[in-house]
Amino acid sequence: MPGDDDFELWLGRIGAKDRSVGQTLARARRAGGVASARGRRFTGAAIGRGAGVGRVLGASQRMTGLRARRVIVKARIVKLGGKGMAAAAHLRYLQRDGTTREGERGALYGADVDRVDGKAFLARGQGDRHQFRFIVAPEDGAEYDDLKPLVRRLMSQAEKDLGTRLDWVAVDHFNTGHPHSHVMLRGVDERGKDLVIARDYLTQGLRSRAEELVSLDLGPRTEREIMAAQDREIGQERFTGIDRRLLREADGDRQLMVTTSDPREHALRIGRLRSLERLGLAIEGKAGQWRLDPELEPTLRRMGERGDIIRTLNRDLREAGIARPPQDHALFDSHDPSARPIIGRLVATGLSDEHRDRRYMIIDGIDGRSHYADIGEDQSIHAKGAILRLSPRPADIRTVDRTVAAIANQHDGKYSVDIHLRHDPAMSESGTQAHVRRLEAMRRSIGRPERLADGTWQVGPDHLADALAHEQRQGLKAPVIIESLSHKPLEQLPAHDGETWLDRQLTAATPAPLQRGFGAEVRGAMQQRRQWLVEQQLVEGEEGVTRYRRDMLQLLQRRELDRVIAGIEQDTGLAHRRSHADAPIEGVYRRAVQVGDKRYALIEHAREFSLVPWRPVLERAVGKSVLGIMRGEGISWTIGTRARGLGIS
């Protein structure tokens, strides 16, 4: 099974009614019953569970007609690995505040209970190879007071279709215009074996089952509902079902004549063509002949996405109480070659694609504009009000890539720590670990280079091209570099007794340009901060010229660090031990400590502790022994005291 297959399930072609529909649906229902009654098992090697049901239901779905209730189902298979931190983060986000009708925190539920412990669900799936994730979105979801009964009946039917009990949790979201449910399903069957579900069932069967249930609950769509939905499509600035029918009727040159004999369909198509004409996507020729733009579908899809972005931007700014005119709204496109970094306060963050865990940020910039930024799968956490710098992630070949390529070129395409040390005796063993980590990251990302059984790497002649491909792939997953300039909101900075972003702005040779909006607020805060620094005797002013003490930033840093150290000593009873260059840092990593805008790692040894620069990799070593050597401004870490473990430079 693929590690991460995506299926985005949309409506198929809607056909006319057929007298065989009832018979086909009956066969589908019997197919589900047979799997349950006989306990039929699929190995999953070639097909997977639910293959027959999925095919039959897929055929019946094409004949259900306009009156059937419609449901969008999105399915994804996610490969699980490590400690399941990504799955835990996904589950936490699904339960975030503001997703219920009352604006409360979303609650997980299961087959029999309305409250489920998410940690227990994740613990049960700790050893699972993969996980299924579904979004179930009835077109008429707003008609339901509660989606739980629908989801439970759907998953119960899925158990019959697949011939096994399923272990799942779900949460309902009502915070968008389309109520929907998220379902997380463990990738094991009732016997603990890998659960392999046939593609036909994932792409067609589950949706058909959901549509059956919604049609039973709400009845078939009325003529008025059908006409209202069709009329809404005429003026929409997104790709619609009418557009799909127009493209189907057009010839190879995208030309068509509206010749349908159905008066209603004729009116819909002409109305839509007039709307496309206003958008510059269709041109009327002679005798009612129309030519569609060659880029009609991708253009309309981009317009639809942009419309969603504008609505999200307006909603988040409104909820934050920030008023910015529409002309000051901007989309931060990190893939645009002309894109420049933006600085501003974090207004909101959320999921732009709840299914694929792609996220966005709303940044109120110092340039006076409010920016929507797609940050991809970035999992970093920043508080609202934090001041951030967002920069496009460059897709460049790194120095380590060139080093590996050069060494492999001289050693028959091989690279290893031993080969590197023989090639460059001045290099330390810990220093080579950065190269090994880079190769391992590339192997996981693009499948190259190959790691041999003895730990040696087989590096191909196109290694630099592979490195660039890896960088480009990473750029799609996380297109933005996020740098925290201040974890505290602006209003707390003018009187903060420690170094702040305002101080760095005041003393910078070329400070960031401040314009209107948030930029004007920063300008006012800098004036207040300057006055506070004068009161602290850190600034001298003569004849209108401001002079800052050369050691001002270091002094402010030391003040706050001493204050934090004193607090830790009082809370823990441990004594502080300063770290020195080239001296080992040995002990147990306890936690990260925030000191101003910098993070430190608290390392405990005997009855003493040290604060040293923090690295994200240390979070995997909480409660474990670590050994580090300070080298310049960095630290070379080894997880596991006095042992040859994983070197972290």
Q: Would you say residue 525 lies in a domain?
A: no
Q: Would you say residue 340 lies in a domain?
A: no
Are 228 and 135 members of one domain?
Answer: no
For residue 449, say if its preceding peptide bond is cis, omega within 30 degrees of 0: yes
Structure confidence at residue 18 as a pLDDT band (50, 70, 90): very low
Q: Would you say residue 388 lies in a domain?
A: no
Nearest Cα residue to 218 out of 144, 107, 306, 161: 144
Q: Which residues pair with 593 in a beta bridge?
A: 600
pLDDT above 60: residue 111:
yes
Q: Would you say residue 330 lies in a domain?
A: no
Q: What is the CATH number of the domain that holds 273?
A: 1.10.10
Residue 555: what pLDDT? 94
Q: Would you say residue 485 lies in a domain?
A: no
pLDDT above 90: residue 236:
yes
The residue from 234, 259, 294 where one domain ends is 294
Q: Calculate mean pLDDT across residues 129-133.
A: 92
Are 184 and 229 members of one domain?
Answer: no
Q: Which helix (H) or strand (E) holds 404?
A: helix 399-409
Are 198 and 283 members of one domain?
Answer: no
Question: What pairing do the DSSP bridges indicate for beta strands 608-613 and 575-576?
Answer: parallel
| Chain centroid, CA 456 distance in Å | 34
pLDDT above 80: residue 67:
no
Pull the structure tokens for residue 265: 């369909």
The residue from 430, 460, 477 where one domain ends is 477
Q: Would you say residue 630 lies in a domain?
A: yes
Place of tokens 């949790």: 169
Pull the structure tokens for residue 517: 């909006």
Are 206 and 285 members of one domain?
Answer: no
Residue 272 DSSP SS3: helix
Pull the structure tokens for residue 402: 């060139």
Domain total of the chain: 4
**Residue 534, phi then psi, degrees to nearest 5:** -65, -45
Q: What is the CATH number of the domain that holds 89?
A: 3.30.930
Enter the pTM of the model.
0.75
Q: Would you say residue 175 lies in a domain?
A: yes
pLDDT tens, position by position, 263-309: 999 999 999 999 999 999 999 988 789 999 999 999 999 999 899 89
Residue 40: what pLDDT? 45
Q: Would you say residue 484 lies in a domain?
A: no
* % of the chain surpassing 90 pLDDT: 55
Are 163 and 283 members of one domain?
Answer: no
Are 145 and 243 members of one domain?
Answer: no
Are 188 and 261 members of one domain?
Answer: no
Q: Which helix (H) or strand (E) holds 593?
A: strand 584-595
Say how many C-beta atoms besides its own lie within 10 A of residue 99's C-beta.
21
Nearest Cα residue to 366 out of 478, 485, 482, 496: 485
Which residues does 436 contact at the CB level (< 8 Å), separation at least 6?
417
Are 569 and 608 members of one domain?
Answer: yes
Helices assigned H by DSSP within 447-593: 463-477, 501-507, 518-535, 552-572
Contact between 97 and 171 under an 8 Å Cβ cutoff? The reply is: no
User: Can you give the residue range of the structural domain that contains 641?
Assistant: 555-648
Are 158 and 200 members of one domain?
Answer: yes
Residue 632: what pLDDT? 56
The residue from 188, 218, 248 where one domain ends is 218
Are 43 and 171 members of one domain?
Answer: yes
Are 82 and 158 members of one domain?
Answer: yes
Structure confidence at residue 636 as a pLDDT band (50, 70, 90): confident
Are 141 and 272 members of one domain?
Answer: no
Place of tokens 């790497």: 457
pLDDT tens, position by position, 537-590: 998 766 667 788 889 999 999 999 999 999 999 999 999 988 776 678 889 999
Residue 351 DSSP SS3: strand
